[in-house]
Amino acid sequence: MPGGFVQAQTAAAATPAREPVLLVVGDSLSAEYGIARGSGWVALLDKRLAASGRHWRVVNASVSGDTTSGGRSRLPALLARDKPAVVVIELGGNDALRGLPLDATRENLMAMAQAARAAGARVLIAGMQMPPNYGRKTAEAFAAVFGEVAKAESAALVPFLLAGVADGPNAEALFQSDRIHPTAQAHPRILDNVWPVLQPLLGSATGKGR
């Protein structure tokens, strides 16, 4: 405390309120694959929250290569451990790359959103799109899944996490040599895609009673 001053307090007052938790369950796009630690959009989100005076604890439970099935299996333990007030689900890209059934992706995303809501958390779903070489019909069906799930589960939606990155004029320069993973320079834009959708959830989710 300032000046070393110590004031007697009741036990209740002396115990600081627990910071609400923002849990990110994602894949390599959120796990800082191929870039320096602390330069990914989740780390940048943590810094932005602190700079804006919002006292949240950001837990990045993202795993490179994870699918919606993997996220679904991991989520119950994460919910029990962290008791998040907000859950960001950033999964589905690897389902597409592996050619997994679209119905399974939809079912897994819905199950994750339902589990998070049942645990008292607000949910944000980050949408993804397939590369154009997969075919227009398939790509459109895949991209629509995220909006369908968000609508059905009353979740917030970022329509395309990589908007302005994958479809921008400097797309080639914003991806690593594998043409799949964004460079560190792209992650501020990714955060800018998430931030306006996430902000309303932060204002209404306090974490009390969780």
Burial class (CB in 10 A: 0-12, 13-18, 19+), 6: exposed
pLDDT of residue 15 exceeding 60, the answer is no
Q: How much is the pLDDT for 85? A: 98
Q: Is 181 in contact with 29 (CB distance < 8 Å)?
A: yes
pLDDT of residue 163: 97
Interval 174-203: pLDDT, tens? 999 999 999 999 999 999 999 999 999 998
pLDDT of residue 210: 35
Mean pLDDT, rounded, for 19-47:
98
CA atoms of 17 and 28, how far apart (whole Å): 32
Residue 96 and residue 101: Cα distance in Å, rounded? 8
Residue 188 contacts residue 44 (beta carbons within 8 Å): yes
Catalytic residue numbers, as ranges: 28, 178, 181
Give the predicted TM-score (pTM) of the model: 0.89
Model pLDDT, residue 204: 62
CA 63 to CA 91: how far, in whole Å?
10
How many Å apart are CA 205 and CA 122, to the nearest integer?
7
What is the C-alpha to C-alpha distance for residues 129 and 143, in angstroms, rounded to an integer? 5
* Residue 205 pLDDT exceeds 80: no
Distance CA 100, CA 103 (A): 9
Q: Mean of the pLDDT values across residues 114-129?
A: 98
Percent of the chain exceeding pLDDT 70 equals: 89
CA dist 3 and 150 (Å) reads: 50
Span 107-119, pLDDT tens digits: 999 999 999 999 9
Cα–chain center distance at 95:
17
Confidence at residue 11, expressed as pLDDT on a 0 to 100 scale? 40
Whether the per-residue pLDDT at 134 is higher than 90: the answer is no
pLDDT tens by residue, 58-72: 999 999 999 999 999
Work out the pLDDT band at 98, boundaries 50, 70, 90: very high
The three-class DSSP label of residue 34 is coil
pLDDT of residue 48 exceeding 50, the answer is: yes
Can you name the CATH fold of 30-204? Rossmann fold (3.40.50)
| pLDDT the model gives residue 17 | 60
Short-list 86, 122, 128, 121, CA closest to 106: 128
